[in-house]
Amino acid sequence: MANLPPPFAFSKASSSSNDPKPSPVEQLVLDICDPELRENALHQLSKKREIFHELAPLLWHSVGTTAALLQEIISVYPFLSPPTLTVAQSNRVCNALALCQCVAAHPETKMPFLRAQMPLYLYAFLKTSSKERPFEYLRLTSLGVIGALVKVEDTEVIKFLLETEIIPLCLRTMESGSELSKTVATFIIQKILLDNEGLRYMCVCVDRFFALSRVLGNMVTSLAEAPSPRLLKHIVRCYLRLTDNIRC
């Protein structure tokens, strides 16, 4: 078993006068575990996450932080059906998801994040169908987490995703989502197809292959009315990869 760094056992109760004062980033991570300070901490960290290069390991290894992020995610489940999620609720959970995306993208924390099956908690958001902004933002941010996982080629990531509902969920988004959500969902499918396991999975079963072909074809048709070069690029790359399989 690989040696993991010890958890960051930050705690106001256990700190002594001799302990060094937490940095601003460490203090914000501490604040995530305080229900009264959490909302501001999530907002500040998600807004500045690009400049905190080691934020992901700090989040993942800090005691209680991942549990607090998960609590934020599942707290909005009751508002998904019937769709009563507010803009404020959506913004708050999307800030938590943005931090999850940070963890999913970092090479040190990506696999622990995956093995903890954290992506599965996002699938409830991808199953929503409301066109209202809070739900669209929630779906887009959730797709961003999955996109971060597949951005760098890794067969273990692809194998994990193939055992889940991600393919039908992405196809659903590609059919009915906003342009940006369609683009991210198509990117995820493209990255899955680029892996040999993913290509085999999509082509070994006729139903899967034709489901993907139908969705891609419908998307090309719809682009005649609402052109999107970025989306078309990912669609073409999906078609191109499918030609690499002799069964196609």
Task: Note the pLDDT of residue 3.
Answer: 45
- Distance, CA of 9 to CA of 113 (rounded, Å): 19
Distance CA 105, CA 202 (A): 25
Q: What's the pLDDT tens digit per position in 59-108?
A: 999 999 999 999 999 999 999 999 999 999 999 999 999 999 999 999 99
Tokens encoding 46: 């998600």
Q: Using omega within 30 degrees of 0 as the cis cutoff, is the peptide bond preceding 82 cis?
A: yes
Q: What is the pLDDT of residue 19?
A: 65
Contact in structure between 247 and 200 (CB atoms under 8 Å): no
This prediction has a pTM of 0.90
All residues at 6 or more sequence positions from 45 whose CB lies less than 8 Å from its CB, including other chains? 25, 28, 29, 32, 52, 55, 95, 99
Whole-number percent of the chain with pLDDT over 90? 86
How confident is the chain (248 residues) per 10-residue block, as mean pLDDT? Answer: 45 52 92 97 93 92 97 98 97 98 96 97 97 96 98 96 97 96 98 96 94 97 94 97 81
Q: Which of 77, 55, 190, 215 is nearest to 138 (CA)?
A: 77
Report the distance separating Cα 28 and Cα 30, nearest Å.
Answer: 5
The residue assigned the tokens 């393919």 is 167
| Residue 216 structure tokens | 């891609």
Is the CB of residue 93 less than 8 Å from the CB of residue 138? yes
- What integer pLDDT is reported at residue 137 of this predicted model? 97
Within 10 A of 10 (CB to CB), how many other CB atoms are there?
Answer: 19
Distant-in-sequence, close-in-space partners of 136: CB < 8 Å, separation ≥ 6: 130, 177, 178, 181
pLDDT of residue 6: 44
